[in-house]
Amino acid sequence: MKKLQSDEESLLKKPTEEFSRNCYQTIAGKLDSIMKQKGISQADLKKKCAENNYFISQGTLSRILQGTTSISLPNLLQICKALNEDITAVLSDDAPRYRKEITDTVSSLIYRGDNRAFHGYFGTYHCYFYSTISSEDVILHGLLNLEKSQTGSRCLANLILETGKNDQRGNPIQKKYHGEMVISMSMNTAYCTLTSEEIGEICYFLFHYDQINYEDLVCRLALVATASAGGNRLPTVHRMLISRKKIHNIAEHYLAGQLLLNHSDILLSEENMAQLLTDPELPDYYRNNLEKLIQGKSCYMRISELAIRANHLVSSEDKIKCICLLRKYSSGAKYSKVGSKADEFTYQVLKKYKEPPAEDADGDGDETEKIRHKKTAA
């Protein structure tokens, strides 16, 4: 009888232990995600707790963040206080910030880093984009790291951006961002949200997603939504290249053309066309044809990318090189800003805008107006 009772207790104990372990790991995953987003290390967290007159050992804190030990309510309260987070959000199963992966519909958003959808995307990438300061004509470089969180509950994104400037001590100024990447299977898009608590900035970038089964992602062109750098902060969008390979002197490379905002038709000024024709990377076939095309013309040239791609007389490599070079020397914008003048003009127009009179429900407003005019005339 004692053995039977012991077996029953053992069977009941196992699910309870497993449930508790899952809870601890879930909480650890949430805390880990918050710390990564805010750029806070374990040592920083321990120090913040001490500043609040609450002392927790490094060993205990490490086990809590690994999800390998139980966590007391006082410990969790103080950790949340140090992180400036609401404890209810950390404990809640349905808090939007920590939504679990949905797997039963085509339109699901995938958050969990241990999902197969993230295969081939983890690792370090070099990032390149044009400076958003109007007076600068430089391409900035950064390092983006995508990694699975410790518990596998998130795909963490960390970006270190080289600003190309130094502080008063001569040290390079870097901007550090932390966040996560989410995949939408229905949109075939990867979305990254990045935050810098230090400078109070949130930016977003997204790029086309393809499921990768056996290899790793090599590169992608992303679209970034951010606030421009410099003294006049404005809503801005621009392109960004992410690549596992480091590209030396990218400003001189023809790939720089892909960082400009573009259209299927490529527009070049007379001056830029002259520079293009002297570029040694331009294939001779296109150099000769472009020289013939511009004879006797002294204005902007509009060249169709589709026409170049449809040419079967030239190799794919030369066509790609030509298109990239055309875009590099084109009048394409480095970014697009929503300036204060645009806001002001829009406001002035809408301030005087009057909505047209609504038609009656039966759609015979015009006929009613005609009848009214006839009665008046009579």
Task: Answer yes or no: is pLDDT of 253 > 80.
Answer: yes
Name the residue among 201, 129, 124, 187 with its Cα closest to residue 156.
124
Please tell me whether residue 83 adopts helix, strand or coil conformation: helix
E strands, 149-299, in order: 155-166, 172-184, 189-196, 201-208, 219-227, 235-243, 265-268
| 113 and 212 within one domain | yes
One domain for residues 237 and 344: no
Decide: 305 and 322 in contact? Cβ < 8 Å.
Answer: no
Give the residue-averaged pLDDT of 37-65: 87
Q: Are residues 114 and 91 in the same domain?
A: no
| Residue 259 pLDDT > 70 | yes
The pTM of the whole model exceeds 0.85: no
Look at residue 2 and tell me whether its pLDDT is greater than 60: no
**Does 370 have pLDDT greater than 90?**
no
Q: Are residues 311 and 200 in the same domain?
A: no
* Cα four-point dihedral sign 315, 316, 320, 323: positive
Domain range for 135 is: 109-251
Distance CA 179, CA 8 (A): 45
In sequence order, which residues have a C-beta less than 8 Å from that of residue 98 and are 6 or more positions away? 30, 33, 89, 90, 92, 153
Burial of 234 (0-12, 13-18, 19+ CB in 10 A): middle
Question: Does residue 136 sit in the same domain as residue 244?
Answer: yes
- Count of CB atoms situated within 10 Å of the CB of 115: 16
Q: 190 near 153, Cβ under 8 Å?
A: no
Residue 240: its pLDDT value, please? 97
Distances (CA, A) of 275 to 27, 139, 212, 282, 324: 58, 19, 40, 11, 14
The enclosing domain of 16 has a CATH number of 1.10.260.40
Domain boundary among 62, 96, 130: 96
Q: What do you get for the CA distance between the two ends of the chain, in Å?
A: 108
Same domain, 242 and 272: no
- Is residue 33 within 8 A of residue 153, CB to CB? The reply is yes
For residue range 236-246, list pLDDT tens digits in order: 999 999 999 99
Q: What's the mean pLDDT in 192-212?
A: 94
DSSP state of 124: E
Strands (E), 20-91: none
Asked if residue 103 belongs to a domain, the reply is no
Mean pLDDT over all residues of the chain?
84
pLDDT band at 325 (very low <50, low <70, confident <90, very high): very high
On whether residue 257 sits in a domain, the answer given is no
User: String of b and e for 351-363 (b: at least 16 CB within 10 Å)?
Assistant: eeeeeeeeeeeee
